[in-house]
Amino acid sequence: MAKPPAPGIRISKWSSGEWSDVPDAVVTEEPLQLMLDGRPLSVVMRTPGEDIELALGLMFAEGIARSLEDVRLMRISAESGETASEITIDASIVDSNQVDIHLARAPRRKPERSMLASSACGVCGAVLIEDLRRDLAELRAGPVIDPALLTGLVERMRSGQGVFERTGGLHAAGLFDPSGELICMREDIGRHNAVDKVVGRMLLDGRLPMRDAILVVSGRAGYEIVQKSITAGIPVLAAVGAPSSLAVALSREFNQTLIGFLRGERFNVYAAPDRLAR
């Protein structure tokens, strides 16, 4: 599905000691009401587009659904224009900012409370940190990656960020194979939403867990990004920004290679450096 164009507005700009009235574009942010079996579950602030992937990726990260067999039906608005051949879609919902997931069986992990996700926070339904850890498994060794390969991945990801080029306001998550080929790239105002969209796409394609993949994210590597990527089986996570202390601790605990400050020809490795060739 094509993303909606970035809204055009007029702004006042100060440059070189002078004011000017100029056109500008801002990124779209709208609430998405997630429903589970017809009942409200979560409100996610996101950039419209790939809402099916976003919903499935979030359900996967939360442990509510871990395969397409867990999902019986998804209800969305026909206005969204989204389809998924892998899942039965009922395009009867009037509100285009709503997705209703109907499970084929009782959820693997029952939501403990309503979830609220802003565009800045991606850990939605877990009450305790230990609750997030309980579904994670240590990642196996490999693949071994040429460190020089990593330095070009951010630019490859950025080259596909059409909305970012117009607004400068979107985060991105890019999934690459060990040779640096782009598998999937998604944008969103929330970096964790972009990750959920990538994971949702891989779930739809039957490619989880992604045991030989590299995930590159714009911005920092927070705990929620690490948790979501480990859940998807991704062994290497690289961020343009800094990792948090909790992100480093979790990556080390579950043997995920964590890279921060991936800029230009430099980066730092905070966990599991053995996957990078010496």
Buried residues in 8-41 as b, exposed as e (16+ CB within 10 A): eeeeeeeeeeeeeeeeebebbbeebebbbeeeeb
DSSP secondary structure of the chain? -PPPPPPEEEEEEEETTEEEEEEEE----EEEEEEETTEEEEEEEE-SS-HHHHHHHHHHHTTS-SSGGGEEEEE-BGGG----TTS-EE-B-S-TTEEEEEESSS-SS---S-EEE-SS----S-SSHHHHHTT--PPPS---B-HHHHTTHHHHHHHT-HHHHHHS--EEEEEE-TT--EEEEEEESSHHHHHHHHHHHHHHTT--S-TT-EEEESS-B-HHHHHHHHHTT--EEEESSPBPHHHHHHHHHTT-EEEEEEETTEEEEEE-GGGB--
> Does the annotation count 124 as an active-site position?
no
How far is the CA of 104 from the CAs of 66, 73, 247, in angstroms?
A: 12, 8, 33
Q: Give the active site residue among 116, 121, 137, 148.
A: 121
Tell me the catalytic residues.
121
